[in-house]
Amino acid sequence: MKKILLLSFLLSSKIAFSQVDTSIVKFQNPSSVSTPKGYSHAAEIDLGNSKMLILSGQVAFDNKGNLVGKGDLTKQTEQVFLNIKNIVENAGGTMDNVVKLGCYLLDVNQIQAFREIKDKYINLKKPPTSTLVQVSKLFRDDVLIEIEATAIIPNKK
């Protein structure tokens, strides 16, 4: 708990954002997802016996940057969770390590379609904490959903 509190302090201070101490935070852009412009897909923070992985909001881009499922929330949600899975696995984890999801949908009336896909990827016996918000717009008109995630991945022994 002390490490998490310290981490919170560091992330909110200028020390963490100066990116001077690369042993605390490592930024990742796995080749299994599209190359982002101006940000990293994930920040990995060493917590000692585990690592925290904070993912940027993921949208339905394939690894070449093409939108999957134009106009189809089900297909877009599937691609988003595939991207999250790829990033978590690249860091040595599994979807069982995901502890928090932040979900942004254009149309909350499609929540059932969203849940059907989400439930294929998460641990239903111990689901992650989650926030779902309806938004009026995302960064592109053809993007219907964006999901950010946090995972805690135990270090391999």
Between 147 and 2, residue with greater pLDDT: 147
The average pLDDT across 141-155 equals: 97
Q: 19-48 pLDDT, tens per residue?
A: 545 578 887 777 778 777 777 777 788 888
**List of domains in the chain:** 2-154 (3.30.1330.40)
Query: In the predicted model, is pLDDT for residue 16 greater than 70?
Result: no
The two tokens of residue 157 are 């022994």
Q: β-strand 42-46 against 98-105: which pairing, if any? A: unpaired
- Burial label, 128 (beta-carbon count in 10 A; 0-12, 13-18, 19+): middle
pTM above 0.85, yes or no: no
**pLDDT attached to residue 24:** 82
